[in-house]
Structure 1
Amino acid sequence: MNGDWLTRGRDGRLSVYQLSGEAVRCRAERAPGGPWTAPRQVGGDQRLHPFLALGQGADGYVHLVSWRPTVKGEAGLVHSTHFRPRLAALDWNPVGHPDKKGDRTGPPAVAVDAQGRAHVFVRNKAGGVSMLAQKEKGGWDPWRDLGGEDVHDGLAAVTGESGRIELYAAVPGGVLHWRQEEPGARPVRQEPLRAPVRPGTLYALATSADRTTLFHTGTEGELCAWRPGDKPVTLLDSAGHGPVSAVRCELDGHDCTLLAQRSASGRVAFAAYPTEQESAGAWWTESGPRLTVDARVCLATDEDGRVVAATLSPSTGQLLLTRRKDEPGLALEAWREV
């Protein structure tokens, strides 16, 4: 899965999206902070490949993108919108292929602009990135080739506080970066980051009015933060493999960025620091039980602004959840199975 699979809807309810065989399922709180529903299939009965990209707009709507098999040896992308956690999502709608036709070219990524338009990004057969964007009044613009070469899996799409879209892609020797200069415009390729980066470790977060921060792991295992225009900063050693999850939250009256990652020991590791102040330092604190190797972790905030952390183990289907206690610091409630 690519994107935040733990989300908060307009009604304050939390939802979790997960791949299940050839389908996507969703679970949601029956009421904010209350018990959860049983898993429900999203988008109808259409058979999917095991890929899922998620993006949520300021309106709270969740956009989902996946690959579906078409004819033998070929596939196409499909899109669905989930307006409310307790309502059924729209049926999967075919949106095409970056090369018109062919097999899967890589895991997609999706971000949603201030006008509620989904932007779908995926690697094309030439090794660059193509984009498909919704029109404001319905339908889709044509596919656009954004360029690039030797792009790895694990694109990181993000919506800035301005509502404009940015995209990051790992390549040999660095990271490519695209940014919208105006709402609805074609993202423009910016100055790349030239540094050794482990593929599959990118995570982007809006951290100020005009800037986003990309978190990634270097080839020596160091977790780095990079804001385009500046040099990357090493925060601390990575707690484990794969990308971190990150969320901005208020801790003791301060705007902080909280990171979470499945650690090498199998538990969830947390680290927090004042947003965009990496020089303040950060350190990992582990929490919860040991998880399966394939377990993922995701962060969000609930309707009261409290941090919520969830872990999902695809091999077992186990979903665990914790929230921040109503007390100073980052004290968490006991992890519980949902």
Structure 2
Amino acid sequence: MKPRLPLRSALLSRRGAVAGSALAAVLVAGGAFAELAMSDTEGATSPGGRAAAVPASVSSGPVRPASGSVMQIMAHPDDDLFFMNPDTGQSLRSGRPITSVYVTAGESDGVNSPSTRKGAPRPPSDRAKYSEARQNGIRGAYAQMATGDRGAKWTRAVLPTAGGGTAELDTLDGHPGIHLVWVQLREAETISGNQPHSLRGLWNGQVATLTSQLASGTPVRPFAYTKEQVVETLAGLIEKFRPTHVRTLDPTPARAGKFHKIIDHQDHTYSARFAQAALALYAKSANHPHFSVQNYVGYNTGFLPHTFAKPATDAKADIVKTYAWMNPKDNYCASAAGCGDRKVSSNPHGTNWAESIRYSRTNSTSWLQQGKDDSLWAFGVLDQRLAVWHKAPGADATWSGPELLPGDGMDSGVSATRLPDGRLAVFGTRTLFGAQLTDYRREVVAAVQTSPGGPFGAWRSLGSPDRSGVDGVFDLSTPTAAVDGSGTLSVFLRGGDLQLHAATLGTKGDWTPWAALGGTNLVGDPVATTDATGRVHLFSSTAKTLLTWAQPAPGAPLPARASDTGLPPNTTGLSARQDGNGVRVYYRQANSGNIQSVLFSGTTPSAATDLGDTSGYGMVGAAGPLVTGRTASGALATLEPGAPAPAWKSDGSILFTGAPAAVQDGNDAVAAAIGLDGRLYWTRTAGGPAAPWQPAAH
């Protein structure tokens, strides 16, 4: 048996992202995860059910890509195809490394069959074969997206994990940067029912260990993990593949509907929380590349207005059809288990899941700001900390950064605003773990410059509204903030009760308690801005329309009730900016993704102007004539000014996280976006069309 390498413990502070013995790290000096002790024989199981490590069929050293790379951490095979695509396919086609990690086997009831009428015979249950069939379906779908050939070959190998067991590592032949990792823990087999032997049961302490459910063709041997070992396993995979961007489903989905229940699969939620904890552990290690995180809406997206036009929806569903193995007579994968998930074959669109993609965070477009001295400041979240980029005044000045400020546990997505004295204030939310993983909560935080252009002070907690951030209702939007003409700073967010809430900074530097502003069944992130008179305008979407609150006068309270704008449903994301004496709002049209622009002078919108960008998605950054967003290809693009019909110029190569932001810079406009490689990219108009996008700092 090989000796273990020296270990060091990473004990994280309570106010940081993770704390205490719950996440004692298994790290070696220098930041790499410990190589596991390995036996000379495969398949041995140690006492207590924990698998002995087995020889690796591939190198267990870290993968260090020269460019940005992506890791996706999901509960089940197909979570990526339904909820993360087309982002997954875009990453595969970009030629940059991507690793998809499936935490459970997805074995369900073990019946690989379409839905049958009541009383009709069903095939026998075989969880191992059904898990293998789902793996085959994912391999086919990924091969199709990457190469156009669903039958492309994969190399399957055993990978020791930092949790003490093994996982299966699949690599697409001829594409060494495309990996699938099958952890193969048992799934809950129920969407919301109380199943102690599940990720949720393990997280909450209902069981001490969670056992494996191995696919029939896997080279892995049985194992069982404690909650700490699950965290260590995921953190070890992150350390090995060293992604610059990580995708998970939403760890804090909204409670909705008549019974105020979470409309998502419990495995989605808890795989994302285990990933959160693993990322917090990994962020404490040394010498890793900066990483960003993107969370995706799961089941809930099917009950919201559709994101895509029909051609994009059909293209997404076509990949699901490969996974679903629509023709069971075509055993192209040569597997006795089958080549896909026949349960999905009766409805490859899911519950309207193929029609949309939604980010549950990072929708803010106010994270780029101009300083009092005309310098530029950009803010994002890297390594679960606030990242700051700065460009001094002047066209020839260069960018510096990113500088990562103290304070762990930051959730993706921040907003910013400028105070009357020229200082900048940044707002976000953070997730806090206590001594145990179950000590889990979220809160709103703010950081303010100590002087105009100066350093930022420490994060200050603003808490959270009632029934939000604690006690199982963890859903909070990204905050949005505005300073009215009287100099009053207010911050707004959607709470777990799906209403809008506000807090205001008093003259003595104290924040008021959160006050409800109403609204019902709000979704997405609200947006606030001011008009030329200094009045605050606040906007938030529902599944049916757009609501607004308009301040009567600077210094006056906002209305206690929202006004219905009468606008049609949108894809539940918004951008807003001052425009003359009014406020211009941008949103994407449901069922097409086309960007719509409307002007508000009060609570009544103008007729909408269609700016095109069919099947693009996510919010747009807008300042002056510059409008920028994400096209259907996923790449950065800018609206061509002066064209007779809406025309978008795509960069074609820069995939990015969240939404771009834009600000007015004298007579010009500047826009920025954070790439999946962790770099800031920017463009400016410079008296004409926007210049090509370029990295802001090296």
Deviation at 1:23, TM superposition (A): 0.5
* Same amino acid, percent of matched pairs: 22
Q: Secondary structure at the match of 1:154?
A: strand
CA–CA separation in structure 2 for the residues paired with 1:182 and 1:159: 11
1:171 equivalent in structure 2: 542
2:597 equivalent in structure 1: 225
Q: Which amino acid aligns with 1:25?
A: A
Which residue among 330, 335, 338 is the counterpart of 2:693? 335
Which residue among 122, 137, 142 is the counterpart of 2:513? 142
2:161 equivalent in structure 1: none
Q: Which amino acid aligns with 1:98?
A: P
Distance 1:109 1:230, change over 3 A: closer
1:260 equivalent in structure 2: 628
Distance 1:166 1:322, change over 3 A: same
Deviation at 1:220, TM superposition (A): 3.0
Distance 1:120 1:281, change over 3 A: farther
The answer to whether 1:201 aligns with 2:573 is yes
Total equivalences in the alignment: 317
Deviation at 1:12, TM superposition (A): 1.5
Write out aligned runs for 1:15-54 (5 A): 15-33=377-395, 34-42=397-405, 44-54=406-416
The answer to whether 1:292 aligns with 2:661 is no
CA–CA separation in structure 1 for the residues paired with 2:641 and 2:686: 16
| TM-score, length basis structure 2 | 0.42
> Are the equivalent residues in 1 in contact too, given 2:626–2:690 (CA < 8 A)?
no
- Select between 179-188 and 66-75 the one with higher mean Cα deviation: 66-75
The answer to whether 1:62 aligns with 2:424 is yes
Write out aligned runs for 1:289-328 (5 A): 289-292=652-655, 294=657, 296-302=659-665, 304-313=666-675, 315-326=676-687
> Are the equivalent residues in 2 in contact too, given 1:14–1:32 (CA < 8 A)?
no
Q: Show structure 2 runs of 5+ residues with no match.
A: 1-361
CA–CA separation in structure 2 for the residues paired with 1:192 and 1:201: 16
CA–CA separation in structure 1 for the residues paired with 2:649 and 2:420: 32
CA–CA separation in structure 1 for the residues paired with 2:510 and 2:695: 40
Q: Secondary structure at the match of 1:153?
A: strand
Deviation at 1:123, TM superposition (A): 1.5
1:77 equivalent in structure 2: 444
Distance 1:301 1:204, change over 3 A: closer
> Are the equivalent residues in 2 in contact too, given 1:78–1:96 (CA < 8 A)?
yes
2:458 equivalent in structure 1: 91
More contact order relative to length (CA 8 Å, sep ≥ 6): 2
CA–CA separation in structure 1 for the residues paired with 2:491 and 2:454: 23
Q: Secondary structure at the match of 2:686?
A: coil
1:191 equivalent in structure 2: 563
> Are the equivalent residues in 1 in contact too, given 2:365–2:659 (CA < 8 A)?
no
Distance 1:12 1:111, change over 3 A: same
CA–CA separation in structure 1 for the residues paired with 2:563 and 2:458: 39
The answer to whether 1:270 aligns with 2:639 is yes
CA–CA separation in structure 1 for the residues paired with 2:399 and 2:462: 32
Distance 1:282 1:267, change over 3 A: same
Deviation at 1:231, TM superposition (A): 4.6
Query: Higher helix fraction: Structure 1 or Structure 2?
Result: 2
The answer to whether 1:132 aligns with 2:503 is yes
CA–CA separation in structure 2 for the residues paired with 1:67 and 1:269: 29
Deviation at 1:119, TM superposition (A): 1.3
> Are the equivalent residues in 2 in contact too, given 1:17–1:26 (CA < 8 A)?
yes
CA–CA separation in structure 1 for the residues paired with 2:384 and 2:490: 24
CA–CA separation in structure 2 for the residues paired with 1:118 and 1:281: 41
Q: Which amino acid aligns with 1:243?
A: M
2:610 equivalent in structure 1: 235
Q: Which amino acid aligns with 1:307?
A: A
Q: Secondary structure at the match of 1:201?
A: strand
Q: Secondary structure at the match of 2:657?
A: coil
> Are the equivalent residues in 2 in contact too, given 1:200–1:243 (CA < 8 A)?
no
Q: Which amino acid aligns with 2:368?
A: L
Which residue among 101, 106, 111 is the counterpart of 2:482? 111
Query: Higher strand fraction: Structure 1 or Structure 2?
Result: 1
Q: Secondary structure at the match of 2:610?
A: strand
Q: Show structure 1 runs of 5+ residues with no match.
A: 249-256, 274-279
> Are the equivalent residues in 1 in contact too, given 2:429–2:444 (CA < 8 A)?
yes
CA–CA separation in structure 2 for the residues paired with 1:289 and 1:219: 24
Q: Which amino acid aligns with 1:335?
A: W
1:3 equivalent in structure 2: 365
Write out aligned runs for 1:155-166 (5 A): 155-166=526-537
Q: Secondary structure at the match of 1:111?
A: strand
> Are the equivalent residues in 1 in contact too, given 2:612–2:647 (CA < 8 A)?
no
Provide Cα deviations, 1:57-115, integer angstroms capped at 9, x if missing partner: 45443221122334512222111113667521111111121117623433222222234
Q: Which amino acid aligns with 1:202?
A: L
Provide Cα deviations, 1:313-338, integer angstroms capped at 9, x if missing partner: 1x311222222234xxx234343322
Q: Secondary structure at the match of 1:173?
A: coil
2:293 equivalent in structure 1: none
- Select between 172-181 and 97-106 the one with higher mean Cα deviation: 97-106
Provide Cα deviations, 1:180-202, integer angstroms capped at 9, x if missing partner: 11223321135312343333431
CA–CA separation in structure 1 for the residues paired with 2:566 and 2:481: 24
1:253 equivalent in structure 2: none
> Are the equivalent residues in 1 in contact too, given 2:368–2:416 (CA < 8 A)?
no
CA root-mean-square deviation: 2.6
Provide Cα deviations, 1:146-168, integer angstroms capped at 9, x if missing partner: 01111001211112211121111
CA–CA separation in structure 2 for the residues paired with 1:152 and 1:263: 23
Q: Which amino acid aligns with 2:681?
A: L
Provide Cα deviations, 1:266-322, integer angstroms capped at 9, x if missing partner: 24122447xxxxxx97522305342215364222233x4222222221x31122222
Which residue among 613, 616, 620 is the counterpart of 1:244? 620
CA–CA separation in structure 2 for the residues paired with 1:14 and 1:230: 31
CA–CA separation in structure 2 for the residues paired with 1:48 and 1:129: 22
Q: Which amino acid aligns with 1:241?
A: Y
- Select between 111-120 and 16-25 the one with higher mean Cα deviation: 111-120
Deviation at 1:232, TM superposition (A): 3.6
CA–CA separation in structure 1 for the residues paired with 2:640 and 2:508: 42
Distance 1:87 1:61, change over 3 A: closer
| TM-score, length basis structure 1 | 0.84
- Select between 156-165 and 224-233 the one with higher mean Cα deviation: 224-233
